């Protein structure tokens, strides 16, 4: 009989009345009681099932057999001597062989306008980059507004790639600056491509906007083509307005939210917690406003400036604010999400892990490309590494830069090995790492504490009705 042993990736999080156990590469979280944990730990150092069954003689043999079977299915127990990292290594080898064909691609970010009618203090576009190509393109007048021809070339190029790979969905993100400054283009794209290609690929759209330029016509077309409207909205301060930039969250934006509501649009908020906002951040007020306007989901985004994470008191405050907003949102029926939440979501199995979905939290690890108004391609609006021009999609996919981004999905950096959230966390935004370190395969330890801290808090408090519970006592 084979011996089984406890996976070296097993994580145990003590909670008030039980324990959460999960695998740090595959998730599969479940709640166990002290007896269940004892069964699991009886395999420490290797043990046969028969021996374990004898140790727990007060239970019927079949109960322990079935309990152990479940622990094996979740990879919490593994055959003694097996190479536990092998499935990931195999997946990486497959990815390495196939990424150039574009099988990972499913998101096209169209930067349709490199200009904005707001002037937020924390806007990243003027401070984020570190490459020559970004420096040149950022200020070139020809790179301010995308033409329909470029958008068409990008969409058709990606549809062609998806067609060859049997892909069934393309997510098109209208991004900026403020994308609605190029409304005519967005309208033409929606009316031309609609929601299904001639090859039967489904087209899903989203727009990330400051919300100030929305009109009835836009809301109507967004409804018609199921465009997710993500409004960048600062948490309101003590006087009901956004504190950092009074226009974000202003009366005008709130009136426009009502237009979207009237047309039954799917609207989400993106709100930034950064050094500029944290002093006056009020998550409760944010959720209340979201509820008032029928917002489907609130995304909380963390500062892209790594200096933000340097003070431990600030990190603790971030974790606290994320948690309080999440919990209040839950009570009010407004889901609160973000990359930090996606880590937890993969651990509990609500979202597929990277081996199935192609990425962890950051789709810019090969699953998306970002096209500038002139057709130049980057992996994401936040990143600096230049990939080529959309007129030559094959050259983009075979570029060394694309390979680097695509292959970074398993471990963000060698130092991630053994981390309790290794299989689910993409680390801090790669654009921020490029800016500070001129490379992406590095860990920013201070931000890791935020990701690990909020994950632990979510796991410690997850409701037993929301996850698998396998108590042994009483069976």
Strands 368-371 and 10-14: unpaired
For 362: left if phi > 0, alpha if psi spans -120 to 50, otherwise beta; the answer is beta
Which runs of consecutive H residues, i.e. helices, occur in 194-311?
216-224, 251-262, 283-292
User: How far apart (Å, rounded) are the C-alpha atoms in residues 393 and 368?
Assistant: 13
Smallest CA-to-CA distance from 5 within 66, 55, 52 is with 52
Among residues 55, 452, 456, 475, the one that binds ligand SF4 under rule CB under 6 A: 452
Residue 296 CA: distances (Å) to CA of 20, 291, 299, 368: 29, 8, 10, 24
Q: What DSSP state is assigned to residue 234?
A: P
Among residues 336, 425, 433, 454, the one that binds ligand SF4 under rule CB under 6 A: 425
Q: Which is nearer to ligand SF4, 39 or 111 (CB)?
A: 111
Site track for ligand SF4 across 205-244, x = CB under 6 A: -----x---------------------x------------
Q: In angstroms, give the least distance from the CB of 339 to ligand SF4.
A: 6
Does 77 help bind ligand SF4 (rule: CB under 6 A)? Answer: no
Q: Which is nearer to ligand SF4, 329 or 363 (CB)?
A: 363
Q: Which is nearer to ligand SF4, 374 or 434 (CB)?
A: 434
User: How far apart (Å, rounded) are the C-alpha atoms in residues 470 and 64?
Assistant: 12
DSSP states along 374-437: TSEEES-TT---EEEETT-HHHHHTSHHHHHHHHTTS-SSGGGTT-TTTTT---S-HHHHHHHH
Q: What DSSP state is assigned to residue 113?
A: B
Among residues 105, 145, 227, 380, the one that binds ligand SF4 under rule CB under 6 A: 380
Does 120 help bind ligand SF4 (rule: CB under 6 A)? Answer: yes
| Bridge partner list, 12 | 21
Among residues 13, 123, 285, 306, the one that binds ligand SF4 under rule CB under 6 A: 123
422 touches 24 (CB < 8 A): yes
Does 412 help bind ligand SF4 (rule: CB under 6 A)? Answer: yes
Q: In angstroms, give the least distance from the CB of 33 to ligand SF4.
A: 28
Does 363 help bind ligand SF4 (rule: CB under 6 A)? Answer: yes
User: How far apart (Å, rounded) are the C-alpha atoms in residues 272 and 248?
Assistant: 11
Give residues 254-273 in contact with ligand SF4 (rule: CB under 6 A): none
Does 430 help bind ligand SF4 (rule: CB under 6 A)? Answer: yes
Residue 161 CA: distances (Å) to CA of 70, 91, 250: 40, 21, 42
Site track for ligand SF4 across 280-319, x = CB under 6 A: ----------------------------------------
Q: What DSSP state is assigned to residue 182?
A: G
Among residues 20, 144, 382, 396, the one that binds ligand SF4 under rule CB under 6 A: 382
Site track for ligand SF4 across 80-119, x = CB under 6 A: ------------------------------------x-xx
Q: Which is nearer to ligand SF4, 360 or 470 (CB)?
A: 360
Give residues 156-185 in contact with ligand SF4 (rule: CB under 6 A): 176-178
Q: Which is nearer to ligand SF4, 18 or 303 (CB)?
A: 303
235 touches 242 (CB < 8 A): yes
User: How far apart (Å, rounded) are the C-alpha atoms in residues 124 and 303?
Assistant: 9
Residues of the shown chain interacting with ligand SF4 in the complex, contacts defined by CB under 6 A: 116, 118-120, 123, 176-178, 210, 232, 362-364, 380, 382-383, 412, 415-416, 419, 421-422, 425, 427, 429-431, 443, 448, 451-452
């Amino acid at each position: 009989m084979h011996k089984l042993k406890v996976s070296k990736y097993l994580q145990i999080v003590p909670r008030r009345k039980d324990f959460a156990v999960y695998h740090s590469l595959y998730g599969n979280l479940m709640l166990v009681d002290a007896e269940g944990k004892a069964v699991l730990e009886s395999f420490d150092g290797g043990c046969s099932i028969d021996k374990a069954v004898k140790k727990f003689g007060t239970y019927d043999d079949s109960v322990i057999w079935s309990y152990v079977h479940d622990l094996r299915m979740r990879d919490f127990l593994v055959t003694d001597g097996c190479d536990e990292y092998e499935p990931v290594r195999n997946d990486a080898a497959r990815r390495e062989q196939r990424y150039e064909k574009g099988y990972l691609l499913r998101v096209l970010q169209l930067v349709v306008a490199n200009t904005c009618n707001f002037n937020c203090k924390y806007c990243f576009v003027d401070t984020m980059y570190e490459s020559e190509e970004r420096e040149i393109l950022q200020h070139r007048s020809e790179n301010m507004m995308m033409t329909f021809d470029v958008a068409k070339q990008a969409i058709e190029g990606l549809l062609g790639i998806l067609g060859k790979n049997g892909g069934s969905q393309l997510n098109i993100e209208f991004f900026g600056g403020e994308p609605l400054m190029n409304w005519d283009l967005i309208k033409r794209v929606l009316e031309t491509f609609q929601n299904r290609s001639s090859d039967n690929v489904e087209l899903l759209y989203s727009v990330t906007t400051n919300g100030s330029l929305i009109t009835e016509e836009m809301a109507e077309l967004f409804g018609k083509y199921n465009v997710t409207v993500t409004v960048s909205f600062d948490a309101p301060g003590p006087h009901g307005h956004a504190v950092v930039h009074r226009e974000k969250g202003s009366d005008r934006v709130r009136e426009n939210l009502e237009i979207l509501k009237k047309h039954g649009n799917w609207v989400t908020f993106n709100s930034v917690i950064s050094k500029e906002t944290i002093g006056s951040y009020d998550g409760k007020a944010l959720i209340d406003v979201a509820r008032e306007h029928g917002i489907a989901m609130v995304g909380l985004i963390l500062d892209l400036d790594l200096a933000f994470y340097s003070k431990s008191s600030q990190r603790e405050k971030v974790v606290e604010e994320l948690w309080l907003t999440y919990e209040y949102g839950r009570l009010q029926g407004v889901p609160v999400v973000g990359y930090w939440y996606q880590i937890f979501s993969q651990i509990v199995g609500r979202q597929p892990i990277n081996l199935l979905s192609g990425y962890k939290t950051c789709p810019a690890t090969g699953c998306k490309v970002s096209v500038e108004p002139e057709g130049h391609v980057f992996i994401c609006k936040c990143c600096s590494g230049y990939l080529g021009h959309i007129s030559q999609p094959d050259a983009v996919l075979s570029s060394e830069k694309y390979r680097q981004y695509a292959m970074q999905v398993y471990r963000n950096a060698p130092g991630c090995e053994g981390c309790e959230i290794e299989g689910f966390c993409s680390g801090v935004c790669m654009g921020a790492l490029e800016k500070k370190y001129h490379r992406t395969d590095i860990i920013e330890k201070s931000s890791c504490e935020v990701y690990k801290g909020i994950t632990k808090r979510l796991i410690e408090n997850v409701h037993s009705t929301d996850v698998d519970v396998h108590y042994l006592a009483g069976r």
